[in-house]
Structures are given as structure tokens and as C-alpha cells.
Chain A
Amino acid sequence: MTFIPGLGIVKGMGLTLRRFFEPKATIKYPEVKPDIPHKFRGRLQLLYDEYGALKCETCFQCAQACPIECIDMGGIDTKGRFHVHWGAPETYGERREESALRRSGRTVPDPAYAHFEGIDPDPVDGILEEYDYDPKRMLQILEATQAAYGHLPVAALKRISHATGAWYAMIYGTASYYNHLRFERPEDNRQAAELAERRPTERTFLTGLDAALAGGPRDGAQKTLGAKPN
């Protein structure tokens, strides 16, 4: 592109002129009020004082005033004696606990870096070799791994992820979806056998259907969970 003297200033002034004739966004605030939804309370922000400490003294006034109850909070009371929190205990329990820790200045444990149990890698390596490190055969790999270890240890999942190239989160999601796969060591043999034999909800359904057809009063489908199928 050739250099044309004055082109830059023409471009710049062009922008200025265009903006000059556009409708203005400024309003004369106290006289004119902006059109804002009546529940709007502006941006929620925790402010810091000049020493870098949070100014919030956890008085919960904002949480009480919040019309849609979106504020849940936790922290240490002003004398630093005990932990206080606001919010329905059954909602966002995990998140609130974590954010309460964070706001009270303590370290938040990160599950991703939590210690996991070591395993003997030979069985899982053999399984991966057998299935050709193929992420398309992930279900078979996971089922074989569970058969070898009794459950799916974190270390084995990490190894599978590393070897197949599938993301750990994807493997975890797949394994958590299917009911026959489990991450915990079966606590006792009876439960493991029950899990392996037939999925609990299917049995609940079958025994529940029997009970519903036969009439008899019952307290609910869940009660029949422990019953043996005929």
C-alpha cells in the first residue's frame, strides 16, 4: 500500500465525525433516571480496604435484602472467633463451603491435587495393550479394569487417560454414567454381588411392579429394594 499524506488524519476525523452525530448515551443523572429493571442492584462486588483486607464484615444485610436470594455467603465474625454463613443449607452446600473457606482466608483443598492411592500398574497396562490403547473401546477397557481391581482406582483412570489420550474428565464422566462401574472399593461382598447381579433400580422396578399389581398396601417403591427377585 502506498503512503498517502494525510490519510491517517482523515480516517481519524471520520471516526470522530461519525461519533459526533450518533445519538448520545449520556444522561443527566439526578434529573433523568436510567431505565433499569426494578430488581437490578448493580454489580455485586466485595471491596478491599487500603491494607488489602476485605471490607465485608459479614453482616448479611445484602443477603437479607437480595430480592432473588442469590447471595449466599460465609466468613469469620468480626472478632475472628467463629465461622458464620448465610443461605439455605441444602442449596449449594458444597460451593458455599468452599467459598466460605476462600472468603475466610483459609486454603481451599483442590480435589484434583488430592492424594490418590497407588496401584500395581501391570493389570491396567495389560488391559490397555489388549485393547490397543483405543479410546473407542473405553467401555471394555473400564470394565476390564474394574474386573482386575474390583473398582476403578483414580491411578488406573489417570493411566488410561495418559495411554489412550482421552481426557481424564471424559473418562470419569463415562465411568460415572454407567451404573455398573464404580469408583469405590465395594464395602462388603453382598453389596458388590448385588451391584453385579442386577442394577438396583431395575430390581426396584420389578419388585415394585409385582407389588403394585398384587395390590397390597406398601409404603413406597424404595422399600422393596432389599427384596429378592423370584
Chain B
Amino acid sequence: MIEHFDLTMVNWARAQFALTALYHWFFVPITLGITWIIAFYHSIYVKTGSEEWKRLTKFWMKLFGINFAIGVATGIILEFEFGTNWSNYSWMVGDIFGAPLAIEGIFAFFIEATFFAVMFFGWDRVSKGFHLFSTWMVAVGSNLSAVWILVANAWMQYPVGQAFNPDTARFEMQSFTDVALSPVAVSKFTHATSSSMMLSSFFIISISSWFLLKGRHVKMAKRSILVAAIFGILSSAFTGFTGDRAAYEVAQQQPMKLAAFEGLYDGERNASIVAVGLLNPDKKIGDDQDAFSFQIRIPGLLSFLADRSFDAFVPGINDLVFGNEEENIMGAEQKMKHGKIALASLDTYKEEKKKGNEAAANAALSIFNQNKEHLGYGFLTKPEEAVPPIGLTFSAFHIMVALGVLLPVICLAFLFFSFKDTLVEKRWLLGLGTLTLGLSFIASWAGWIVAEVGRQPWAIQDLLPVTVARSNLTAGTVQTTFFMFLVLFTILLVAEIRIMMKQISIGPEEN
């Protein structure tokens, strides 16, 4: 397959998708998280009637509006790319993705858009209660939109509730609830939204810290930080909890990804987690070299993370590539045999159908059904192709976790000095606070790299590799649109930052 397909095209299409998703993810996490914090600010205003809280709410609402306006519809480009660069994939999953994406468009976006207008235009025009309700509904609607996209993404990682129909060449939905409520979908949604809430807390802390460093809008900045720090700590705790759940699901459904997280080549019981480590760049799959040049490990934690038992066996990359009879693990080599049988039987089915030979077609279909679980492996030319890029996955995972530990500590410091009312004096902390937004984005992007690079080579886990998911286009075509997007998105990002900076420098409206 590698010789057969234009890998350059596949890599450019992947790069284009990554670029678009990365830019899209500049805007989305702020939208998802800040709406909740604004709803809290708004609630405090309604409860206290204080004009100060009203100004504060309006200020953060304005920044949310800028982010929303610049970011809106950037996700549509991802859908364009599906149809153009990934047409085989789009065709195959149309039946599965159609329902969740339609629900998103009709239901969640409708709620969001309706209440959005009331939230912005409703000051002194509608009752305070309805206005506040609308603000909360914007938060609910934004997050409901995210549900369906994340359900679709989760299905690619754990394709449940489907059956492949060889007559339509499509994965067809058998159970909507299995797709929508799969454990991977639940953990993906909760982890993505809680980490976005965390990021939004740091968006507020970062800007408010800048105000305090400049000695401007001190009262508003201190109040903003107090609520954002509490929200940040709560969402950090929830992010940790959901992250643990997500890792458990990865261990169950995508063990190769988990092995790549930890650079684990040889599986073991009481497997340790790498607290700090430097991968050996010369290490190859199946050789005897050490995987790490340097490492500090925490014994037993990986086994506990993967199977809730310190004694559990965690398969390594070598076990998953070459198999491990002792632990009853089928290797990629064996799965390739099943995959090739599945593909050959599909071909036979197609030919016999053409000839009108129903009995032979049904026999071929029966063989396909016995082997379809490993369909995607049939496209691989060697078992090592089932391994994702280990260095990138390992680094991204450890950066995400390290920042996920550091950021709540910073949040705690903000909360502590807020209660002591000495925040303004702690200029070192305020300086650090201004950096937290950048750190949060790095953590968030690293999380997506972990999820998406870690599942390579699959577009649909175990069923369809990215090399078969692509369209039959030349690399040049994709390169052209890649650079067009780079220019377009950079202009949008510069526009967002300039408008946002201007509004931040103006600050909240004076009475």
C-alpha cells in the first residue's frame, strides 16, 4: 500500500487538517469555557445588583464576542476538507456522522444563536431573569455543539454501533445510543470541555494579571481573578479526573496509543509511568536497546491507570506488533492476516455479485464477517506500520500532563493571595499569570496531538488507515490550499489579536 499511494498527498492532507484544526482550536476552547464564567459573573450581578459586576460581565462578554465572531465557521473548513481530501473516508462514514452533525447544526447551534442575541442586546431591554437565563443558555448551547463533534471524533477512535455494508461501501449505524454514549465519547467530551474551562480561566487570569501589573481597573481585575481562580481549580480537578478516565479508555480500546504515551516497548506487570524521561532516538521496534536515555519512573502507576490494578499487565509496542501468546495478545502481524482475508473476501463478494452468483457472494460475505474486526490491518504492508510516531506522542502526552499539574498550582497561588488581598504586591505571580494563557494553549494543543497522532495510522481505529481514507488527488492540489489556509487563518488570527488587544487596552466601560 505504501508503494501504491501517494504518501506526499496523504501527509499534506494531514498537515492541512492539523493546521485547520489547530487554528480552529484557538477559538473553540475559549468559547466553550468562558461562557460558563461569564454566566457566573452575570449571576453575581443579578444577585447583588452591583454596577461593578455588570461592567465586569459586559467586559468579558465583549471579549467572548470577539473570539466568537472571529472563530465562527472556521470549523466548516474542516468539513470542506473531508469531502475534498478525504473523500473515501467521508463516503464510508457518512451514515454515522450524518446524524450527530445534523443534530449539532439544528439543535445546539440554534439554541446558541437564539440566546446569543438576547445575551448581547438584552441589557435593560429584557427582564434581568430572562437575560441571565439567556447567558446560561449560550453556555449550554456552546457546549452542546461540542458534544456532537466529539461524539464523531470518539467514534473514529472507538468505532462502535456500526456494521460495514459492502453493497454501499459504508459503515452504517446500527445503534445511535452506542455511538453517542460510548465510554470514549463520554470521556472525550468531558475531558475536552473541562480542559477548555480550565483554559478560559487562564484567559481571564492572564488579562486580569496584566491589568494589575499596569495598575489599571484594579477592582475589576481582582474580582475577575477571584472567580476565575475558583473556576480554574474546580475545572482543573475535573480535567484531572476526566483525563484519568480518558487514559483508562485508551488503555482498553487503543493499547498501542497508551504504549506510545509512555514509550513502553516491552509490556510488563506493575508497569511504571515515566515522570520525566528522554527517549533514545536510536531505539527501534523489536531491538534490545534501552528505550530511554534518561528517565525517572513511578512504579506501578501505569498498570493502575490502565486497568485499576497495580499488578495488571500493560502491553508494550513489541507485544502489540509481534504478539504475546503468554498474555493472549494478538499482534499486528496476525491481525494483518485476518485483514487481508477480509479484504480478499470483499473482492470475491463484489465479483460474485456482478456474476449474479448469490451463494458464492454470501459465502464470501460470511468470511468477511469473521475477519472484519481487523479489516484495516489488511491494508498494512508490515506490522510496524501499526505503530504511531512514538517521539511526538510521548512528548505531547508528557507536556500536557506536566502543564496540567503546574497550572492548577498557579491557580491555587492566585486564590491564596486573592483571599489574603495581597495579589497586587505579588508581581512575580502576576507576571507568571500573564503567561498562563499561552501555557494553557500549549497543554490543550498537546492534548489533541496525543489524541490524533497517537491513533495513527488509523482514520478509523483498526478499520481504515489514513492512506486509504484519502482522495485520489495530487500533492500539489493539497499544497495550494494548505498555503491558502495558512494565509487566511493567519489574517484572522492577527485580526482577532489586534481587536482583542484594542478592547483590552480600552478596558471595561466606565459608568
Are A and B a genuine interacting pair, yes or no? no
